Each structure stands twice: as structure tokens, then as C-alpha cells.
């Protein structure tokens, strides 16, 4: 098939937009972590770009999207390992006229950010090497199979026919559930929930949320795989659901806590982006607005689940991505409409009955069970072999200096170069003194 230059141009741009989301996520998460571990937090996102980006080219794309023959219901094959041969197939065979390799790259950016999303739950205490191994194994055993089921011709796509336009189940529920499984293996941060672990840089959080919002247009509207009306629907829905969710979150805060916070509006935006992801091409803009409001308000409450249930999901990956993803996936069952997209389906409110809701619930439930069980096993094996958690001493003095031989900030500005310049600021000085002593 002939290459369609309009569609291809949009997919090239979308790929770049989605890749930018992961550094955006690094800022979003980095700002929320403590000053002594911000670099490690950001590094976990950056290294997942490196590791998953390579794995995707070598075999990840193949097992997610190529034909698995007899086992195709559950897993793709290895025909496209190393993308061998794909460089000669000018376009995808789905009629969009975009080059195969562009689609591979676009999908790589999804795999990358899904892995990076999990890291938000692991702040301050995860052994870096263990995280690298986890990234590689998880993308292979959890992400690629689920992507195959939902998008690559597997059984959810083929038999259940649940709708997931841009990754509510594959990306968000999957990452949120995996985060929960890993923190159950990893344990709580020292001092949590007694010690205050407030975000060290809220402007970073806002910067990150802004970059995520920007990149998410490529994530959702790019999932149309074409520069067409469906991409347009996805784009406007992504915008309005996010607006509504940010607003919903800060209204809850105002009523519950007395103040609308910057962390709240940033978190609400992300919750809205998450929730609209599966639904963005299957609901009307008013449906998206309603979906966003619900997601923002519910996630604002959901983030406190961890205090009630006692698991230390440091930066609320479960409360935002798992809960937001479930809300989005299930609300398609209510708000689904064919008015904007004939490839969609009618939900309960559009006269479609409960059928669609049932399909959505199956996809959600299967993703939760598979992701939780397999992730838990992977995390447990890593914990028992190489260890998943850093030493107590390193955790207290800060993982940045222990794992990366760096610290993010030079706090010792009283007399630069003098012996008393470091270690004078309580809490933050000790890690710098350690580096100096070793130097």
C-alpha cells in the first residue's frame, strides 16, 4: 500500500509527543519525591526509556504485535524479532498508510511509559539494578502479552471485543496494579506513614503534569493511527476530560481540606488523562466532561486508600492510574456512543444495554488478575535473588548518593569550599557529607 503522507506526518509527531511524556513523568514524580532521592526517582523513568526502548526493537514489538500462530490468542510470535523484514514492509496492512517502523516506534513509547509509571510507587527504597531487571522482565512477561490481547489480535480484541482506544487497560490499570504488587513485596518506606514525606518541588510537579498533558495528545489522538476525524474526537475529549478532572479534584480538596492545591490540580489533570485514555474515541465531548469530573473527584478520594489499607504506594500510582483506568474503562460501558465514531459501541445511556459494560468489566478484571499475579511473582523472585530494596542506611541518608553517586542540589552555600559549608542543613546535609568523605 502507498504511504499516506498526512497520516505518517501525524504519527511521527505523535511518537515524539508520547516519548516526551516519560521525561514529563520523571518531573511529575521527581517533584513529589524528597530532595535526597529525586535523582533516583527521575532515573527510574529515564532508564526505562533506555531498557524498554531496546527490548522493544529486539523482541518486544514482535511478541506484542506479530502473529503467534496457534498461540496467537495469548501471545504473538518471534517473526518480527529485531524488526527484521519490517524495514521492507512499507506500510502497516491496516489501510492507514503509515510505515510499519513508525508504528513500532509509536508503540515503543507506550511500553516505555507504562513501565516508568510503576516506578512512582517505589520511591526512595528500590535497588537500581533490581529496577532495571524488573523493567526488562515486566515488559516481556506482563506488558507485551496484555498489549497483544487488547491490540495485537489476541483474545480480548478478537473474542471479548472490549474497547480500549489508547490504553486504559494495557497501560494504566496494568501499571497501577503492578505498582500495588511490587510495593507489597518491597514494603513501606522507613518512617511511613508517620514522618512527613512532602513533595520537595511542586513547580516540578506542575511542569511534569504540563508535559504529560501536552504529550498525551499524541498518546490519545495518535492512537487513531491517522490524521482524521477520530483523532480529532480523541483530541477534544482528551482536553475536556482533563480540564474537568483537574477541576473536580480541587473542588473535592476545597470542600474536604479547606484549600485547593497545586498538587491537587496537577494530580487531577493526570487522573483525567488516565481515565479518558480508553474512552477518548468512544464518547462524546459532553460524555468526556462527565467522565473527567467523576475521575477527578473519585481519584482525589482514592489516593487516601493507602493510609487506610496500609500499603506504601509512594506517589499514588494505584490511586491515580489503577483507579483512574478502571473508571475510564468501565464508564465506556455507560457513556459509550456511536455518534462520534461508528467503530465504537453504545453504552447503557445510549441505549446499548449492559452488554458493553460486561465486556469492559471482563477486560478490566482479566488485566487486574494477570498483572497482579505475574508482577507479584516477578518482584518476589527478584527480591529473593538479587534483593529489591536498598540498605537501611542508604535509605535514610538518601538513595541518590548511594545508588548514583550524585545529589540533586548543593545546599552548602554559606561559605563555598569551607569545611563548614556542608552538613549544616538538617536532613539534607548528611548525604553530601558522605560524598565528600568518600571523595
Partner 1 sequence: MKLITAVIKPFKLDEVKAALETAGVKGLTVSEASGFGRQKGHTEVYRGAEYKVDLVPKLRVEVLVDEADADEIIDVIVKAARTEKIGDGKVWAVPVDTIVRVRTGETGPEAL
Residues of this chain that bind partner 1 (CB under 8 A):
193, 196, 198-199, 253, 256-259, 261, 263-264, 267, 300-301, 303-304, 307, 316
Contact of 264 with 307, CB cutoff 8 Å: no
Q: Cβ of residue 198: shortest distance to partner 1, in angstroms?
A: 5
Minimum gap (Å) between residue 196 Cβ and partner 1: 4
Of the pair 259, 419, the CB lying nearest partner 1 is at: 259
- Partner residues linked to 426 by β-bridges: none
Give the C-alpha distances (Å, rounded to integers) separating 153 from 71, 94, 279, 372. 11, 12, 19, 22
Q: What's the closest the beta carbon of residue 264 comes to partner 1, in angstroms?
A: 7
Query: What's the start-to-end Cα distance of the chain, in Å?
Result: 61
Residue 256 — φ and ψ, nearest 5°?
-90, -45
Cα–Cα separations (whole angstroms), residue 225 to 166, 168, 236, 272, 421: 11, 17, 16, 22, 55
Residue 257 CB, shortest distance to partner 1, in Å, is 5
Q: Which is nearer to partner 1, 122 or 366 (CB)?
A: 122
Q: Cβ 34 to partner 1, closest distance in Å?
A: 12
Residue (139 or 320) nearer to partner 1, CB? 320
Tell me how far, at minimum, the Cβ of 120 lies from partner 1, in Å.
12
SS3 38: helix
Whole-angstrom Cα distance, residue 156 to residue 163?
9
Q: Least distance to partner 1 from the beta carbon of 217, Å?
A: 26
The nearer residue to partner 1, 4 or 253, going by C-beta atoms, is 253
Nearer to partner 1, 299 or 382 (CB): 299
Q: Residue 257 or residue 391: which is nearer to partner 1 going by CB?
A: 257
CB of 9 or CB of 255, closer to partner 1: 255
Task: Tell which residue, 215, 98, 207, has the closest CA to residue 166.
Answer: 215
C-beta of residue 151 within 8 angstroms of C-beta of residue 223:
no
Name the 3-class secondary structure at 174.
Answer: helix
Q: Which one, of 363, 324, 54, 3, lies nearest residue 179 by Cα?
A: 324
Amino acid at each position: 500500500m502507498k504511504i499516506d503522507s498526512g497520516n505518517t506526518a501525524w504519527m511521527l509527531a505523535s511518537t515524539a509527543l508520547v516519548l516526551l511524556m516519560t521525561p514529563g513523568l520523571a518531573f511529575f514524580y521527581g517533584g513529589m519525591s524528597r530532595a535526597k532521592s529525586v535523582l533516583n526517582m527521575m532515573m527510574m523513568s529515564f532508564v526505562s526509556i533506555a531498557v524498554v526502548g531496546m527490548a522493544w526493537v529486539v523482541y518486544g514489538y514482535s511478541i506484542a504485535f506479530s502473529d503467534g500462530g496457534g498461540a496467537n490468542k495469548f501471545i504473538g510470535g518471534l517473526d518480527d524479532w529485531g524488526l527484521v523484514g519490517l524495514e521492507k514492509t512499507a506500510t502497516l496492512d491496516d489501510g492507514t498508510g503509515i510505515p510499519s517502523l513508525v508504528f513500532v516506534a509509536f508503540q515503543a513509547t507506550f511500553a516505555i511509559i507504562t513501565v516508568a509509571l510503576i516506578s512512582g510507587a517505589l520511591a526512595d527504597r528500590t535497588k537500581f539494578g533490581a529496577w532495571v531487571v524488573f523493567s526488562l522482565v515486566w515488559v516481556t512477561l506482563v506488558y507485551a502479552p496484555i498489549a497483544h490481547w487488547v491490540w495485537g489480535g489476541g483474545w480480548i480484541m478478537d473474542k471479548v471485543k472490549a474497547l480500549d482506544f489508547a490504553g486504559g487497560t494495557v497501560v494504566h490499570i496494568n501499571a497501577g496494579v503492578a505498582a500495588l504488587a511490587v510495593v507489597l513485596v518491597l514494603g513501606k518506606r522507613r518512617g511511613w506513614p508517620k514522618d512527613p514525606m512532602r513533595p520537595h518541588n511542586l513547580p516540578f510537579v506542575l511542569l511534569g503534569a504540563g508535559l504529560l498533558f501536552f504529550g498525551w495528545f499524541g498518546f490519545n489522538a495518535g492512537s487513531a493511527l491517522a490524521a482524521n476525524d477520530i483523532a480529532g474526537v480523541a483530541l477534544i475529549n482528551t482536553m475536556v476530560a482533563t480540564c474537568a478532572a483537574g477541576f473536580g479534584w480541587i473542588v473535592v480538596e476545597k470542600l474536604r481540606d479547606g484549600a485547593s492545591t497545586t498538587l491537587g490540580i496537577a494530580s487531577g489533570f493526570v487522573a483525567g488523562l488516565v481515565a479518558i485514555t480508553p474512552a477518548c474515541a468512544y464518547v462524546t465531548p459532553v460524555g468526556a466532561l462527565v467522565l473527567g469530573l467523576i475521575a477527578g473527584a473519585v481519584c482525589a478520594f482514592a489516593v487516601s486508600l493507602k493510609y487506610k489499607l496500609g500499603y506504601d504506594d509512594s506517589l499514588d500510582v494505584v490511586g491515580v492510574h489503577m483507579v483512574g483506568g478502571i473508571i475510564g474503562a468501565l464508564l465506556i460501558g455507560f457513556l459509550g456512543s456511536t455518534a462520534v465514531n461508528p467503530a465504537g459501541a453504545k453504552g447503557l445511556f445510549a441505549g446499548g444495554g449492559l452488554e458493553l459494560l460486561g465486556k469492559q468489566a471482563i477486560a478490566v478484571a482479566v488485566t487486574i488478575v494477570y498483572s497482579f499475579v505475574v508482577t507479584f511473582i516477578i518482584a518476589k523472585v527478584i527480591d529473593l535473588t538479587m534483593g529489591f530494596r536498598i540498605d537501611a542506611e542508604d535509605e535514610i541518608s538518601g538513595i541518590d548518593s548511594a545508588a548514583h553517586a550524585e545529589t540533586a542540589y548543593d545546599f552548602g552555600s554559606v561559605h563555598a569550599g569551607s569545611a563548614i559549608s556542608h552538613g549544616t542543613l538538617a536532613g539534607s546535609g548528611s548525604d553530601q557529607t558522605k560524598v565528600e568523605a568518600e571523595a
